[in-house]
A and B are shown apart, each in its own frame.
Chain A
Amino acid sequence: MKSKKNWLRNDSVQALLCSLICVCIGIIIGYLVLLAIDPSGAGQAITAILKNWMNSSMANLRLKNLGSTLVNTAPLLLCSLSVLFAYKVGLFNIGASGQYCAGMTVALYAALAWHMNWVICMILAILAGAVVGAISGALKAYRNVSEVISGIMLNWIILYIANMVLSNVKESTSTYTLKMAQNAPQAILPTLGIDKLFNNFQYATIAIPLAIIVAILIWILLEKTKLGYELKATGLNKNAAKYAGMKENQNIILTMAISGALAGLAAACLYLTGITQWSTGTTSVPGMGFNGIAAAFLGGLSPIGSIISSYFIQHITLGGTSINLSVYPSQVADLMSAIIIYLCGFVAFFKLMLNKWLDKRESKGGK
């Protein structure tokens, strides 16, 4: 009884349980929507979404699709780390998308126009993200401008700068940026044999392990270091941080810079694989940064949780593309992840219910 109580009372266990509840409800609602559209194929469609890469009949294709999911997971994971890191310090980095966009611009331009190698491209992307993040941070620290407002405005500013700058390196016949493989092979991330694991899926690069390593580093930074202690204290109680002699303004800027750097790295990890090109006709901020918010919350605001949640979101998103698109819109998967994210707002509620239930059981057991 005693050990069981401690186990269920554990914060991480509760966070995991609540996230799972959110996921289940999201899937059920997604299924109901599919049923409403066309009951006959709903069962098949929901399985397709949930199975994603496991759906393919051929082993080779399965591996390739798994690889594709992971390639997309890496940048999402880094974006969620960006959001999570800022959130731990009491800042809401809705500007992750803009920082991501800045990283993308610099990485692609350095690769395609200056023909830099991948290391420099990646470092420049990180710096670009960090600078954009630091702008929001400085505005917050010295002018008390909400980082949400400055973040959203910067998102749009960066988007149009990106389109403007990248027009110089686009294909003459389309709006898309030049293909990496032909024009900047030196900037493509090395695979180190990782592609072999996924049936020679050439986009599976070091980005995947790199993202996981960064997640672990962020966890260590937050939980084990003096800097993490200071940053979290600043986030939880700015006044107490000041009282204890911490430089709270510096900490805010530093946090936003690190947060932006992570988003910039995220962009490098996607665009430097060459898996996708940027369209200079894009009129909305890339969703990766916003999805990062979702992944961060679904992961219970833990870096390790983010690894799982980021994978899960990409898993069902890509799964959504493999359903019968003549009957169902692929957005069903988006809908499911949206519902799941929305339900994350109820995590506190689920925790409360869980604790109430535990209290009840204990008081009965005590009698």
Chain B
Amino acid sequence: MAEQYAIEMLNITKRFPGIIANDNITLQLKKGEIHALLGENGAGKSTLMSVLFGLYQAEEGIIKKDGVQVDIKDPNDANALGIGMVHQHFKLVDCFSVLDNIILGVEPTKNGFLQKKEARKKIVDLSNRYGLMVDPDAIVEDITVGMQQRTEILKMLYRDSEILIFDEPTAVLTPQEIHELMKIMKNLAKEGKSILFISHKLQEIMEVSDRCTVLRKGKYVGTVNTNETTMEQLSAMMVGRNVNFHVEKEEKEAGEVILEVKDISVASKTKGKDAVNHVSFNVRAGEIVCIAGIDGNGQTELVYGITGLEPLSNGSLIYKGEDITKQSIRYRSVHGMSHIPEDRHKHGLVLDYSLEYNLVLQRYFESQFTTKYGFLKRKEIREYSDGLIEEHDIRSGQGSITVARSMSGGNQQKAIIAREIDRDPDLLIAVQPTRGVDVGAIEAIHKQLIEQRDQGKAVLLVSLELDEVMDVPDRILVMFEGEIVGELDPKKTTQEELGLYMAGAKKDEVKSV
């Protein structure tokens, strides 16, 4: 008898204007296996999953479930076939309890009244069976990101999904939570669920998956058994060349102080107290200082305060010897402060503008791009944009005139980095610059940051990725609950020590720092 496949996607082709997102791709998911789908950003992973989930219709190719051809027209069809998906961005109602979120859409009712009792029982059973440890009565906005994700998983299980799709599930988790998730996934597979695991993090794929299918630029590269391959082989398949994992950088003596942060506080948007609480540090020319910490410990607000997006509620900023506490964003920007923002869709790009317009977003007003009568120099903008696109290998459907929205996340990020670095900054603030970016691009971004440092620029890096925190910077500052709780030397510290600081465990001991 032939191999039992839970889902087969055979020769799927999906086109978008100017691009073939999926070119004759075949993916076969065995029953009870964890199957990783690996590829760079824009390789077509999300498109392929959207086809499976009924969000897009493939032009060619067929989908089979348990050997029978099926037609998936919309997510309801997918749900009916037992396909469930945990999206990268959770789809939960924040002010509802876990229980309410799980039953949302399939509420058990009797004469129009909710029957939560049975639902609760089923949820508790499922939670125990798979070791999910979720409190059904907790309100979603109060629980950790990891627990929210487990709520999403329970949502799928509650709907009796057999095929579980995890879309980049580890992107938002702490190292400990990632470890937990891996365990849960293995449990689920053991209980007979089939799992599709979308990722570009090789380590996780090696650790958790049985087989791995690799896509590159919309094409099928191959499927390998994970225990017969290596990370190097996988990354070569994904990127099409060998990737250097180790970040190479030479010793460099730091120069004068570029940015001095003096006792600053920034109010929180959501909570009553300050998100940044009396923080002081400095960044010198020719060094990379990294603010490490678990997401939501005030890093975002700290950067808002330094760049001027939010006012300071206390303290002052000295930039190149000048007090800029009260200066405008534009003032800071034209005086050599570059900012690669955390949220590229919210701050970094005007998504409905063309790529060229986005590339001059920080300098459209300069005489290079605007005449003295206030007219844009379209020709110069185009030339500049074409130059940057070429130099930084920004890929898009139609070059300079591509609408930013239609570009892949990785290339959007490349565009922002190109724009910010090309301004020749004195201080480069990079917030999670490699977030949602593939391995090949991460390597390039790290190289660019180090290049800036070697050119004598001050670099302030905010990162949630442990590897990045360990490899890239010259100094690490750990932030916890709005305070800097420790300064570490990346050459001397370990991931474990860093993890303890990030979790706030060492806070009391290091108060004196």
Binding site for B on A (CB under 8 A): 9, 224-230, 232-233, 236-237, 239-246, 355, 359, 363
Q: Give Cα A240–Cα B360 distance, bound, in whole angstroms.
A: 12
> Which residues 340-372 of B sit at the A interface, judged by CB distance below 8 A?
341, 346-353, 357, 361-362, 364-365, 370
Decide: A242 and B309 in contact? CB cutoff 8 A. yes
Decide: A237 and B362 in contact? CB cutoff 8 A. no
Q: Give Cα A224–Cα B349 distance, bound, in whole angstroms.
A: 20
Decide: A233 and B350 in contact? CB cutoff 8 A. yes
Q: Give Cα A237–Cα B405 distance, bound, in whole angstroms.
A: 12
Q: Provide a sorted-by-A list of 21 A–B residue pairs whose CB atoms are within 8 angstroms.
A: A225-B375, A226-B364, A226-B370, A226-B374, A233-B357, A236-B352, A237-B349, A240-B346, A240-B361, A242-B309, A243-B339, A243-B341, A244-B329, A244-B333, A244-B361, A245-B329, A245-B331, A245-B334, A245-B362, A246-B330, A363-B15
Q: Give Cα A79–Cα B362 distance, bound, in whole angstroms.
A: 33
Q: Give Cα A255–Cα B364 distance, bound, in whole angstroms.
A: 19
Of A9, A229, A243, A355, which is within 8 A of B364 by CB?
Answer: A229
Residue of A nearest to B378 (CB): A224
Decide: B15 and A359 in contact? CB cutoff 8 A. yes
A355: which B residues are within 8 A, CB to CB?
17
User: Can you list the 4 inter-chain pairs with the closest CB atoms, starting with the nearest?
Assistant: A245-B330, A243-B347, A245-B329, A226-B370
A243: which B residues are within 8 A, CB to CB?
307, 309, 329, 339, 341, 347-348
A359: which B residues are within 8 A, CB to CB?
15, 17
A226: which B residues are within 8 A, CB to CB?
364-365, 370, 374-376
Decide: B374 and A225 in contact? CB cutoff 8 A. yes
Of A225, A239, A244, which is within 8 A of B362 by CB?
Answer: A244
Q: Give Cα A244–Cα B309 distance, bound, in whole angstroms.
A: 10
Decide: B347 and A9 in contact? CB cutoff 8 A. no
In terms of DSSP, what is the predominant structure of the interface of chain A? helix
Decide: A240 and B375 in contact? CB cutoff 8 A. no
Binary A-proximity of B436-478 (CB < 8 A = 1, otherwise 0) = 0000000000000000000000000000000000000000000
Query: Total number of A-B contacts with CB less than 8 angstroms?
Result: 70
Would you call B59 an interface residue if the criterion is a C-beta within 8 Å of the partner chain's C-beta atoms? yes
A239: which B residues are within 8 A, CB to CB?
346-347
A230: which B residues are within 8 A, CB to CB?
364
Residue of A nearest to B344 (CB): A240
A224: which B residues are within 8 A, CB to CB?
375-376, 378
Decide: A236 and B329 in contact? CB cutoff 8 A. no
B218 to chain A, nearest CB (A): 15
Q: Give Cα A39–Cα B341 distance, bound, in whole angstroms.
A: 65
Most chain A beta-carbon neighbours within 10 Å: one of B328, B331, B353, B361: B361
Q: Give Cα A240–Cα B328 distance, bound, in whole angstroms.
A: 15
B406 to chain A, nearest CB (A): 13
Of B17, B353, B374, B378, which is within 8 A of A233 by CB?
Answer: B353
Of A225, A236, A246, which is within 8 A of B376 by CB?
Answer: A225
A367 to chain B, nearest CB (A): 10
B333: which A residues are within 8 A, CB to CB?
244-245
**A-B contacts besides A244-B361, A245-B329, A359-B17, 13 pairs, CB < 8 Å:** A225-B374, A226-B376, A233-B357, A237-B352, A239-B346, A240-B361, A243-B329, A243-B341, A244-B329, A244-B333, A245-B332, A355-B17, A363-B59
Instruction: Please report the total number of B residues contacting A with Cβ < 8 Å.
Output: 32
B387 to chain A, nearest CB (A): 20
Binary A-proximity of B306-333 (CB < 8 A = 1, otherwise 0) = 0101000000000000000000111111
B290 to chain A, nearest CB (A): 22
Q: Give Cα A46–Cα B262 distance, bound, in whole angstroms.
A: 76
A328 to chain B, nearest CB (A): 44
Q: Give Cα A227–Cα B339 distance, bound, in whole angstroms.
A: 23
Q: Give Cα A242–Cα B304 distance, bound, in whole angstroms.
A: 11
Residue of A nearest to B370 (CB): A226
Q: Give Cα A230–Cα B376 distance, bound, in whole angstroms.
A: 11
A185 to chain B, nearest CB (A): 38
Residue of B nearest to A366 (CB): B15
B329: which A residues are within 8 A, CB to CB?
242-245
Decide: B350 and A237 in contact? CB cutoff 8 A. yes
B350: which A residues are within 8 A, CB to CB?
233, 236-237, 240-241
Q: Give Cα A297–Cα B333 distance, bound, in whole angstroms.
A: 38
Q: Give Cα A240–Cα B332 distance, bound, in whole angstroms.
A: 16
A363: which B residues are within 8 A, CB to CB?
15, 59
Decide: A237 and B351 in contact? CB cutoff 8 A. yes
Q: Give Cα A359–Cα B18 distance, bound, in whole angstroms.
A: 11
Q: Give Cα A241–Cα B378 distance, bound, in whole angstroms.
A: 20
A9: which B residues are within 8 A, CB to CB?
17
Q: Give Cα A9–Cα B330 distance, bound, in whole angstroms.
A: 38
Residue of B nearest to A363 (CB): B59
Decide: B341 and A229 in contact? CB cutoff 8 A. no
> Which residues 46-60 of B sit at the A interface, judged by CB distance below 8 A?
59
A222 to chain B, nearest CB (A): 11
Given A225-B374, A229-B376, check contact A240 B330 (CB 8 Å): no
Q: Give Cα A355–Cα B15 distance, bound, in whole angstroms.
A: 12
Q: Give Cα A355–Cα B18 distance, bound, in whole angstroms.
A: 12
Q: Give Cα A350–Cα B324 distance, bound, in whole angstroms.
A: 52
A174 to chain B, nearest CB (A): 49
Residue of B nearest to A243 (CB): B347
B512 to chain A, nearest CB (A): 37
A225: which B residues are within 8 A, CB to CB?
374-376
Decide: B348 and A240 in contact? CB cutoff 8 A. yes
> Which residues 371-415 of B sit at the A interface, judged by CB distance below 8 A?
374-376, 378
> Which residues 6-42 of B sit at the A interface, judged by CB distance below 8 A?
15, 17
Decide: B349 and A240 in contact? CB cutoff 8 A. yes
Q: Give Cα A363–Cα B346 distance, bound, in whole angstroms.
A: 35
B254 to chain A, nearest CB (A): 28
Decide: A229 and B362 in contact? CB cutoff 8 A. no
Q: Give Cα A366–Cα B181 distance, bound, in whole angstroms.
A: 45
B83 to chain A, nearest CB (A): 25
A233: which B residues are within 8 A, CB to CB?
350, 353, 357, 361
Decide: A240 and B364 in contact? CB cutoff 8 A. no
B81 to chain A, nearest CB (A): 25
B348: which A residues are within 8 A, CB to CB?
240, 243
> Which residues 119-169 of B sit at the A interface, judged by CB distance below 8 A?
none
B59: which A residues are within 8 A, CB to CB?
363
